[in-house]
Chain A
Amino acid sequence: MSNLFELILASILNHNIALVYILGMCPLIAISTNVKNAKGMGLAVIIVVTLTAIINWPIYQLLLATGTEKLALLVFIITIAAVVQLLEIFMEKFVPSMYNAFGIFLPLITVNCVVLAVSLFFVNREYTFGETAAFGFGSSVGWALAIILLAGIREKMAKISDLPKGLQGKAIVFIILGILALAFIGFTGLASI
């Protein structure tokens, strides 16, 4: 149990999937202009990543059993797309207010590489089912933390900073991200993965 807790902590902080592994950059930069959107995107990613990790693990065991594990990449992408689609149908039916709030973010998650990366990592690291679920949850929470931090900084900077023209927009985001990544290196050794 303490092992699982350590795994979650590590994947949120010192093995943060966004700031240490530099994955899922595209939505991280595109949807971090305000905290409200960032929270929505972060929540959607947490749901989808945790769900797909849990679903992909038994499917991978099936692939192993039939000796077709080289198909893993293909099958994972298909299940991810299907999970996102299913989630969309369910949310539209039962929580239409949240569905409308998510808007375009939900289908966008299909192409967020964090989702695929988590599924590929558990294969490489030979996780058990419990570890996979913990790692999926932790990584997505870490990604959500990164996007909310970034959005908070961007929101504040938009109000008070007087940026030179060449640094406005996406350019400064790369610098902020770099500094955030440096800060996260401070967590090194906190927990092992």
Chain B
Amino acid sequence: MNLLFVPIVLIGVLLIIALILIIVEKALGGGGEKVLQINNDKIIPVMGDETVLNTLSQHKIFIPSACGGKATCGFCKFKLIEGGGEIKPTELPFLNAKEREEGIRLSCQVKVKDNMKIEIPKELLNAKEYKTKVSHIEDLTYDIKMVRFELIEPKEMIFKPGQYAQLKVPGIDVIRAYSIASHPKYNNQIELIIRQVPNGKATTYVHKALEIGDKVILTGPYGDFYLQEDSSRDMICIAGGSGKAPIRSILYYLRDQGMNRKVKYFFGAKSKRDLYYTEEFMELSKEFPNFEYIPALSEPQPSDDWKGEVGLITDVVDRRVADLTESEAYLCGSPGMINACIKVLNKHKIKQENVFFDNFS
């Protein structure tokens, strides 16, 4: 074999093929400029044949994506209104019949080949990706931890009290959402309250592996559950489990406003070992007569020496509230708890439009 020709032939073949591909692609594909219109409002001009996911992230719109465009996680869904072509076989496993009908697609698989109109949830337009460092971990109960993340890049997250952030577990393609528990005023750090879910991938990571100093990616803020800041109605807050997080953020905000609204905060737990931040909230209720903290245990142990409310949180709420026509309600917890609470609140004539809830499903 003539050794001189080996590199010439190999490199030659590769170069020629690369050239042909580039020329063909230029001649046929991505020449013209296309327009991507988001939510009938924002217009993005697009050159070339990029995917919707990449195009949006180039314009600082972060659609959640755990796998980074391999069509294995199914998080990067958006609604396609016009253009974009048919559903691809790679998308099918992630879309149910209803979603297919509505035009829901995976943004990592749809390329911007023609003028497109798309719809993405409004909250995503404000969300960013943050590099963070864990600066504090605290055990709140036997199965709930509070983790504080210091934001490194970008340095500030502007969020409304009650919204959530998403935590990306490094190494495995898992993204989980957790409500932000910290004060919205301190926007260079955020705190998440995370309960260990048996066999949960993200929560096990947080509880068993996460250490102070670890670098973690967070995205946010997301969610349409947040405090109605310009309202002055009385408030009923009901939480269970790790649902204390968003309410804590809301209360911090209200404390700074001088607690100018009447707030009743119900927290449901099984026994005393599931309670946390009790003193913090008791202090707050001493400071502000407008604020009342009502923890309730459903199964108090004899050793708990419990003198507070006993029973299911729905029964306690039923006993302790009067007419709610002029009140707002903020609920966070499991779907079952929320549905039960809404029934009780309806009994006290709350207006539907004043009930806000965050499903921890």
Contact = CB atoms under 8 A, between A and B. Distances in A.
B186 interface: no
Given A66-B2, A67-B2, A75 B85 contact: no
Contacts of B9: 62-63, 66, 68, 71, 75
Interface stretch (A86-94, A117-125, A180-188): A86-94
A178 interface: no
Nearest to B6: A68
Contacts of A74: 10
B2 A86 contact: no
Given A66-B2, A86-B20, A93-B28, A75 B10 contact: yes
Contacts of B25: 89
A104 B6 contact: no
Contacts of B1: 67-70
Interface string B8-48: 11100110010011001100110000000000000000000
A86 B5 CA distance: 27
Given A68-B1, A68-B2, A68-B5, A79 B88 contact: no
B336 interface: no
B339 interface: no
A89 B24 contact: yes
Interface in A59-88: 59, 62-63, 66-71, 74-75, 78-79, 82, 85-86
A86 B21 CA distance: 7
B86 interface: yes
A165 B9 CA distance: 54
Contacts of B88: 100, 103
Q: From DSSP, what is the main secondary structure of chain B's interface residues?
A: helix
A93 B9 CA distance: 31
Contact of A89 (B10, B29, B85): B29
Interface residues of A, number: 24
Contacts of A100: 85-86, 88
B2 A78 contact: no
Given A67-B2, A67-B5, A71-B6, A86 B13 contact: no
B13 A90 contact: no
Contact of B89 (A62, A67, A104): A104
Given A70-B1, A79-B17, A82-B20, A96 B85 contact: yes
B90 interface: yes
A59 B195 CA distance: 63
A78 B14 contact: yes
B28 A89 contact: yes
Contacts of A92: 29
A80 to B, nearest CB: 11
Contacts of A86: 20-21, 24
Nearest to B92: A103
Interface of B: 1-2, 5-6, 8-10, 13-14, 17, 20-21, 24-25, 28-29, 85-86, 88-90
24 contacts: A63-B9, A66-B2, A66-B5, A67-B1, A67-B2, A68-B1, A68-B6, A68-B9, A71-B9, A74-B10, A75-B9, A78-B17, A82-B21, A85-B21, A86-B21, A89-B21, A96-B85, A100-B85, A100-B86, A100-B88, A103-B88, A103-B89, A104-B89, A104-B90
Interface of A: 59, 62-63, 66-71, 74-75, 78-79, 82, 85-86, 89-90, 92-93, 96, 100, 103-104
